[in-house]
Amino acid sequence: MNLKATYSKNSPRRVIRLYLKNKFSVLAYLRKKKVKDQQYLYLVESLWDSKRKTSKQTIIKYLGKESSVTIDDIPENYRNSDKITNYFTTQKYFQPKNHYETITKTREDLLLSLKEGDVTGAYSLYEGYEKVYGSEEFLEKVLKPTIVKIEKIQQKQENSLVTQTVCYRYAEDLISKILENSTLKIKNKKILICLPYGEQHTIGSKVIASELSLKGNMVYTLHPFTSTLEILETINEKIPDCVLISVTLEDNILSAKRLSEKIQENYKNPIFIGGQAFRDKNPLEKKFVNEEKLGKICKLINSKKIQENKSLRKNVF
């Protein structure tokens, strides 16, 4: 039997390891662990036994906070591992300065594409960004702020209304294309999104729908001016796990509140109310809505606190 003994000075236990030549294959990679919103890295070695068809993982070294780890923290004999090399090759995109510059540039290019009606170009921006940062971050940090910027186009600008209309239209086309090309299987919740009567702005609800759909949820989106009766009938038919009421204009907040109260008469699952209309609300007004990020909605749906306390069913997203 051909044995090869190696001494790993970087091992926490400083032990001598024996490898059976041509029998084992070794793979090194980085493992992440999240503790209180901080990501920490560990160097892990995976030893594959081809005869037993099994592998064993061993932590070689604790590296520290992900944000401060560099290639120099990796022991030399592990630096040439493909997974280690790939990690540090792409890691430059996540450095705060580079990340910020990428977000800013993508927003600018996206706005230009929407103004020009270039959905193909806009989708190419999405594809490039998604490969590195993921679709959720594109929607949250690129598309949403771009839509907010579109909403703030000054009326005094020439053809500003036309520009807004064009941008909204092609933003909706972009969202539709993102969803059409998604291969994600529906495996989570059924969610119904509706608007209070009189609310005509749908772009916000479509962004929400796309983000929730990309998380694997079945999302039903109702059209503007859908009557309360039709909304109630749809809820009875689809039996969603929760209902989201999207409000863009402050004038429609009371209408949304009335709709929520009407739905609650016969609907026992969580109801979330939110949107652009609540972005600048003062603390007194926030007694009606609590600020919650969209990413937490699905988690809140399963929260026992919400299921047991009817008063907690209104949250802004």
Q: Can you give the CATH number for the domain in which 314 is found?
A: 3.40.50.280
Cα–Cα distances in angstroms (integers) from residue 255 to residues 86, 260, 262, 290, 303, in the given order: 52, 9, 11, 18, 27
190 in the same domain as 156: no
Which CATH number belongs to the domain containing residue 174 in this structure?
1.10.1240.10
Of 117, 152, 183, the one marking the end of a domain is 183
189 in the same domain as 312: yes
Of 65-69, 220-224, 253-257, the poorest mean pLDDT is in 65-69
Cα–Cα–Cα angle for 114, 115, 116, nearest 5°? 90
Residue 163 — very low, low, confident or very high, per pLDDT cuts 50/70/90? confident
200 in the same domain as 278: yes
Domain count, the chain: 3
- Picking from 75, 70, 42, the residue whose alpha carbon sits closest to that of residue 57 is 42
157 in the same domain as 232: no
Question: How many Cβ atoms are within 10 Å of 198's Cβ, its own excluded?
Answer: 12
166 in the same domain as 195: no
Question: How many Cβ atoms are within 10 Å of 225's Cβ, its own excluded?
Answer: 11
- Which ranges constitute the DSSP H helices of 15-81? none
Cα–Cα–Cα angle for 140, 142, 145, nearest 5°? 80
Of 89, 109, 139, the one marking the end of a domain is 89
190 in the same domain as 146: no
Tokens of 137: 């971050």
Residue 184 — very low, low, confident or very high, per pLDDT cuts 50/70/90? low
99 in the same domain as 63: no
pLDDT in tens, 106-141: 999 999 999 999 999 999 999 888 887 888 889 889
| pTM of the predicted protein model | 0.57
Token pair 């294959």 is found at 25
Torsion of CA 32, 58, 88, 62, to 10 degrees: 60
- Which ranges constitute the DSSP H helices of 152-227? 160-180, 203-213
* Domain that residue 270 falls in: 184-317
More confident residue, 91 or 265: 265
- Are 290 and 315 spatial neighbours (Cβ–Cβ below 8 Å)? yes
d(CA 50, CA 59): 21
178 in the same domain as 198: no
- Picking from 185, 238, 175, 183, the residue whose alpha carbon sits closest to that of residue 216 is 185
pLDDT in tens, 235-275: 999 999 889 998 888 889 999 999 999 999 988 888 888 88
251 in the same domain as 236: yes
164 in the same domain as 132: yes
Residue 290 — very low, low, confident or very high, per pLDDT cuts 50/70/90? very low
Of 52, 73, 89, the one marking the end of a domain is 89
The rounded percent of the chain whose pLDDT value lies above 70 is: 74
